[in-house]
Structure 1
Amino acid sequence: MNTALPPFDPAMDVAAWLRRLADVAVAAVHPDTLVADLLPDPPPGRTVVVGAGKAAAAMAAALERAWQDRCPEAPLSGLVVTRYAHGLQGLDAECSTIEVLEASHPMPDDLGEKAARRMLEAVEELTEDDRVIALISGGGSALMTLPAEGISLAEKQAINHALLRCGAPISQINTVRRHLSAIKGGRLAVAAHPAQVVSWLISDVPGDEASLIASGPTLPDSSTPADALAVLEQYAIAIPDSVRRHLQESCDAPSPQDDAFVRDDSVMLARANDALDAARQAAEAAGVTVSVLGDDLEGEARELGRGRARLALDAPAESGGPRLILSGGETSVTVKGGGRGGRNVEYLLGLFEALEGARGIHALAIDTDGIDGSEDNAGALFGPDDWIRARELGLDPAEYLSRNDAYTFFQALDRLIVTGPTRTNVNDFRAILVLPRTS
């Protein structure tokens, strides 16, 4: 992938320049560039790898490659689970000692449940001489769904479906997931005790709290079952009797003071800020003034887009040259219609509607994992000329927003960005490029 950015020229293909900028951001947080230097010396006993998430397969391949270079005689085994089509198919990478499984995301399925059971089995009967390396990235919570005792997979699926549609932030969603799980919230690490557990993390959560990534299967959790129950009640989500009973009576969540965590360690490999910083440096080297609004922006996607429109419209007065406004985080979408979409295209459509074709403003938004919601696109982009094209095609932004149909809107404009799985995940990457009014 060519991630170099040419010097910016307003006469160039601005859409192509923005696409290259997104490539820079994603490349900076890919496991291939992150794992090799972290490899610890082999322990006296076994090294067992477990993991889950959209980056899990690429992390496993990078780990195994570094392991074979440094300590090929030391035993290595294990398994990771990733989203369908996010494995190693079509890549110049392979795993021979770490098994790569695939399961459903964002809606969990029985293969994710089986993968979680197999991970618990893989760490059983380990000793102090053994080590577990846990490869954890965003998406892992849905991919290793093992319901707590007394709760069925169907009940967890129904609750997960409702949470994804109600507009709740990911922190609240994962609070519920942890407390309905037999493997999350540190339970995988407890199962591996007394072996040391080293967690390698790629963060997809605003604020980069390690215990929230993939609902923290190897890290202690400070939330309570009462917190999870409060989330379900806040969003008026139907609560089966078995779930309510579990949350009211459960007290088995591992404590941060549990002996199982004393020898454990965690390393943050990549986060949204790393992607934004790489993009900022590349854009500045290309002669563009850059503002970074933050890597942890949340809220309703369309409303955040509308708010960014006001900022973009004011930007030309603050800079005589091109200005780039970057942000990351994870927005929410309250689903009220039956259209096709994802949080990045919904954000963009809110921005597009509010700008009304303002001159000189271009924008891009993608999910860094290559999949925006459950569609086949990473996101989309637009320029000022697309407002005229939309009107000529009879596309009303407000109408498409009313049914959460931003995918169809940008598809009609031929502005969807389709990358396929990137095999990393630090959430959203958003860029607004504002050109001088005289350009």
Structure 2
Amino acid sequence: MTDPQDPATLLRAMFDAAVAAADPMKVIPPLLPEKPAGRVLVVGAGKASARMAEAVESAWGPCEGYVITRYGYGRPCRGIEIVEAAHPVPDQAGVDATTHLLGLLDGVSADDFVLCLISGGGSALLCAPAGEMTLAEKQGVNSALLASGAPIGAMNVVRQHLSLVKGGQLAARTYPARMLTLLISDVPGDDPALIASGPTVGRAGTADDAREIIRRFGIELPESAQAVLDGPPLALAREDRQLSKVENRIVAAPSQSLEAAAEVARAAGLEPRILSDDLEGEARDLAHAQAAEALAVQAGMSAGQAPIVLLSGGECTVTRRGNGTGGPNAEFALAAAVALQGLPGIHVIACDTDGVDGAAEVAGAIAGPETLGLARAIDLNPEIALAQNDAHTFFEKIGAQIVPGPTLTNVNDFRAILIQPPA
């Protein structure tokens, strides 16, 4: 049992449990049907997709297939070919891999069975710019969306309408073959149409919705992208006949991971409180709100009471104001530390379950009563770091980053605030 008097170790154990609960090797084999007779083709994309492919082959044996994952997230498979490409901004490797994948699907027939493996990250890894858009223009739009502060759902609505593969178009290439899509959810609310921009599901919003998102968040589109958006719709309606042979099934979601973390807390004698698995908004704003909630909880505790841990998931966003290196989870932890001002008895962890917070190879960070003191000891100003969106640099300098490496899954943000009773 983890010592409840060691908050940092306990918080890390909860994060590790959250990640383990979404491991494809754990969740996929029990949910797979018997391997169909005839030709079976396995395709997919996302940060967890290679691990998902590995899990499929552990149950079905070697399979024909082609899966696109993030650099460093590949896994050994016996038949399925694993290709790596860039995330969160696509690159030429992703374009080439997507072209190859679509070519494979063009060859299927009504007698074939297609198993599609989709997880978060698939929006960047499945890259097929529509119309006259170049890769450079696609990269520019993606970067602008990421820096805008738009929630993931809004970003994916826009992406669906600028692509030849998203919004049900991947599945349309297989019709009338049967398709089963297994999804690991990284989106608040677990809407399959928003996971990796819904390549086998259909659109989550209309072109008018996409135009309104672009206006609201001040995204400047190149002429080629605007022409695609103003042209005939590409993303399919969910009731489209070409999607009638597809079954979409979520196999792992943030709620499961939060409950796994809660079990770790209970085993250590803590009282877990799951706030929500689908929180969104600016990371610093959510941090201020949860810091205030933690202070209120602590104020109502009595001496000797079991510690309480507040658990939450979802996806924070960051509106880029400075030129620092940071991500929404590290920014949440830093903003929480600033809000708490070193008050005793409250510790915070915020990490992305895929091991990558923003574009950095860092999952997130941990903060506690000692955080600001450690910063002051090396003349590090937390307020300036926050203003510059430089949370990763801040936590690196005080040795408080969480760097698990590729986790091979992705159920989005994990946050825990451990609250001890007042001394």
Q: Shorter-chain TM-score: what band?
A: over 0.9
Asked if residue 351 in structure 1 is aligned to residue 336 in structure 2, the reply is yes
Structure 2 Cα separation of the partners of residues 316 and 61 of structure 1: 45
Contact 2:271 2:307 in 1 (8 A): yes
Structure 1 Cα separation of the partners of residues 204 and 118 of structure 2: 19
Cα displacement (A) at 1:7: 5.1
1:380 corresponds to: 365
Structure 2 Cα separation of the partners of residues 421 and 252 of structure 1: 33
2:264 corresponds to: 282
More displaced 10-residue stretch of structure 1: 116-125 or 269-278: 116-125
Cα displacement (A) at 1:252: 3.5
Contact 2:163 2:234 in 1 (8 A): no
1:390 corresponds to: 375
Q: Look up the SS of the partner of 2:194 in the other structure.
A: helix
2:408 corresponds to: 423
Contact 2:4 2:268 in 1 (8 A): no
Relative to structure 1, the CA distance from residue 7 to residue 243 in structure 2 (aligned partners, 3 Å threshold; closer, same or farther) is closer
Structure 1 Cα separation of the partners of residues 409 and 215 of structure 2: 33
2:299 corresponds to: 317
Cα displacement (A) at 1:253: 2.7
Contact 1:48 1:131 in 2 (8 A): yes
Amino acid aligned to 2:41: V
Structure 2 Cα separation of the partners of residues 103 and 397 of structure 1: 35
Q: Look up the SS of the partner of 2:218 in the other structure.
A: coil
1:14 is matched with which residue: 7, 10, 19? 7
2:316 is matched with which residue: 325, 331, 354? 331
Amino acid aligned to 1:327: S
Structure 1 Cα separation of the partners of residues 100 and 83 of structure 2: 11
Cα displacement (A) at 1:8: 4.2
Asked if residue 30 in structure 1 is aligned to residue 47 in structure 2, the reply is no
Q: Look up the SS of the partner of 1:80 in the other structure.
A: strand
More displaced 10-residue stretch of structure 1: 398-407 or 150-159: 150-159
Structure 1 Cα separation of the partners of residues 58 and 421 of structure 2: 48
The one-character-per-residue Cα deviations of 1:247-302 (angstroms, maximum 9, x if unpaired) are 11223432222222222111111011110011112211221011111011110001
Asked if residue 404 in structure 1 is aligned to residue 399 in structure 2, the reply is no
Cα displacement (A) at 1:22: 1.0
Cα displacement (A) at 1:9: 3.3
1:273 corresponds to: 255
Structure 2 Cα separation of the partners of residues 338 and 286 of structure 1: 40
Contact 1:306 1:350 in 2 (8 A): yes
Contact 1:44 1:129 in 2 (8 A): no
1:61 corresponds to: 54
Contact 1:371 1:378 in 2 (8 A): yes
Contact 2:338 2:383 in 1 (8 A): yes
More displaced 10-residue stretch of structure 1: 224-233 or 403-412: 224-233
Cα displacement (A) at 1:376: 2.0
The one-character-per-residue Cα deviations of 1:319-346 (angstroms, maximum 9, x if unpaired) are 4220101000100101111111111000
Contact 1:108 1:145 in 2 (8 A): yes
Segments of structure 2 that go 5 or more residues without pairing to the other structure are none
Aligned length: 420
2:163 is matched with which residue: 181, 205, 224? 181
1:150 is matched with which residue: 132, 135, 147? 132
The one-character-per-residue Cα deviations of 1:363-385 (angstroms, maximum 9, x if unpaired) are 11110001111112111102212
Structure 2 Cα separation of the partners of residues 34 and 421 of structure 1: 18
Structure 2 Cα separation of the partners of residues 334 and 165 of structure 1: 6
Structure 2 Cα separation of the partners of residues 252 and 343 of structure 1: 31
Segments of structure 1 that go 5 or more residues without pairing to the other structure are 1-5, 89-93
Q: Look up the SS of the partner of 2:405 in the other structure.
A: coil
Identical-pair percentage: 46
Amino acid aligned to 2:415: R
Cα displacement (A) at 1:222: 4.2
Structure 2 Cα separation of the partners of residues 258 and 372 of structure 1: 36
Structure 1 Cα separation of the partners of residues 308 and 37 of structure 2: 54
Amino acid aligned to 2:362: N
Runs of 4+ aligned residues of structure 1 deviating over 3 Å after TM superposition are none
2:282 is matched with which residue: 300, 304, 307? 300
1:237 is matched with which residue: 219, 222, 246? 219
1:132 corresponds to: 114
1:162 corresponds to: 144
Structure 2 Cα separation of the partners of residues 155 and 392 of structure 1: 45
Q: Look up the SS of the partner of 1:293 in the other structure.
A: strand
1:436 corresponds to: 421
Asked if residue 85 in structure 1 is aligned to residue 68 in structure 2, the reply is no
Q: Look up the SS of the partner of 1:151 in the other structure.
A: coil
Q: Look up the SS of the partner of 2:408 in the other structure.
A: coil
Using the size of structure 2 for normalisation, the TM-score is 0.97
Contact 1:225 1:250 in 2 (8 A): no
1:101 is matched with which residue: 83, 86, 101? 83
Amino acid aligned to 1:233: R
Structure 2 Cα separation of the partners of residues 211 and 243 of structure 1: 21
Structure 1 Cα separation of the partners of residues 83 and 101 of structure 2: 11
